Amino acid sequence: MAQLIFVRHGQSLYNLENRFTGNLNIPLTNLGKEQAKIAGKKLIGYDFDSAYTSMLIRAQESLQIILNEMKVTIPIIKNKAFNERMYGTLQGLNKEETVQKYGLAQVDIWRRSYDVCPPGGESLLDTYNRVVPYYKTEIEPRLKIGHNVLIVAHGNSLRSLMMYLENITALDIVNVNIATGLPRVYTFDPKLKISSVIDL
């Protein structure tokens, strides 16, 4: 039975500063590095044939810390399909100041809705439309032959993948949050049906 495990990167500097990060290349904080180490310790004993990550440093650094903690070396594939959603003109702005300017209701729509884009940015639907085709093309074939795969990426790219894997509706996904540094383990039967989902 194949396993897919995904982990959201550890805390970034902009997470700490409560800023919209999007696809800006922002590094981890010391806490973020520690979160990745903890994730790596939790994953000791799991075997992976390959790992996937985004083109952004916070995800790549988190993945490398995880693999270092596990003391394993495996092929790493980096692809922009797993990048965080682009927040357009909101990127780099403080979230509280943005709420003061536009109102909480509008900011919540930009942040949490499925198909509404922030100004100049991507919706979660846009993110889904790049994550899921890549997953189907590149990762599902590996799982079908029994490979175990690790993905270290971002809140919205992983929420998109969750929608696909768990058949979560556009209405329900708005209430789904993915914690930093928490591994989520999917185990598949030979027909690639999910037999279990656990958080470590």
- In this prediction the pTM is 0.96
For strands 149-153 and 194-199, give the pairing.
unpaired
Three-state SS string over 64-111 comes to: HHHHHHHCCCCCEEECHHHCCCCCHHHCCCEHHHHHHHHCHHHHHHHH
What distance in Å separates the CA atoms of residue 19 and residue 13, rounded to the nearest whole number? 9
> Which residue range forms the structural domain that includes residue 137?
3-199
Q: Which residues are catalytic?
A: 9, 84
Q: What is the CATH classification number for the domain harbouring 42?
A: 3.40.50.1240
Helix segments in 135-197, DSSP class H:
140-144, 155-166
Instruction: Specify the pLDDT at position 88.
Output: 96
Token couple for 66? 């995880």
Contacts of 186 (CB under 8 A, 6+ apart): 3, 4, 5, 165, 194, 196, 197
| pLDDT in single tens digits along all 200 residues of the chain | 899 999 999 999 999 999 999 999 999 999 999 999 999 999 999 999 999 999 999 999 999 999 999 999 999 999 999 999 999 999 999 999 999 999 999 999 999 889 999 999 999 999 999 999 999 999 999 999 999 999 999 999 999 999 999 999 999 998 999 999 999 999 999 999 999 999 99
* Structural domains of the chain, count: 1
